[in-house]
Amino acid sequence: MNKRSNNEQSLEILAARFEYASAAVLTIGDMLATISAGITLRLLEEASSTSSSSKTTESNLFPFEVEQMQRQMDDLIGEMRHLKRMMQL
């Protein structure tokens, strides 16, 4: 009976890990969608305010915005690596 109890606990732990991982992946996906929507909005606002623009996409964003987005992407990649390690245990 003790072995069965341990097996049930192991399955519960595994299920909890999958639940955590799926919630984290969904959150990361939402964050990426939010960043993408923000970039798109910013570019559309700038495009509508200037009739002709010879600037590149990256130059339309303030340097600190690009750096902030890069940090957010690095954080998301780090979280994905953490999830991958956690799931391999």
Task: Quick: pLDDT tens for 16-70.
Answer: 988 988 888 888 888 888 888 888 888 888 888 875 555 555 555 567 777 887 8
Q: Is 89 helix (H, G, I), strand (E, B) or coil?
A: coil
pTM attached to this predicted model: 0.55
The pLDDT score that the predictor gives to residue 59 is 54
Least confident of 6-10, 21-25, 27-31, 71-75: 6-10
The helix or strand, by DSSP H or E, that contains position 8, with its residue range, turns out to be helix 2-49
Mean pLDDT, residues 68-81 taken together: 83
The pLDDT score that the predictor gives to residue 25 is 87
Residue 17, burial from CB neighbour count under 10 angstroms (0-12, 13-18, 19+): middle
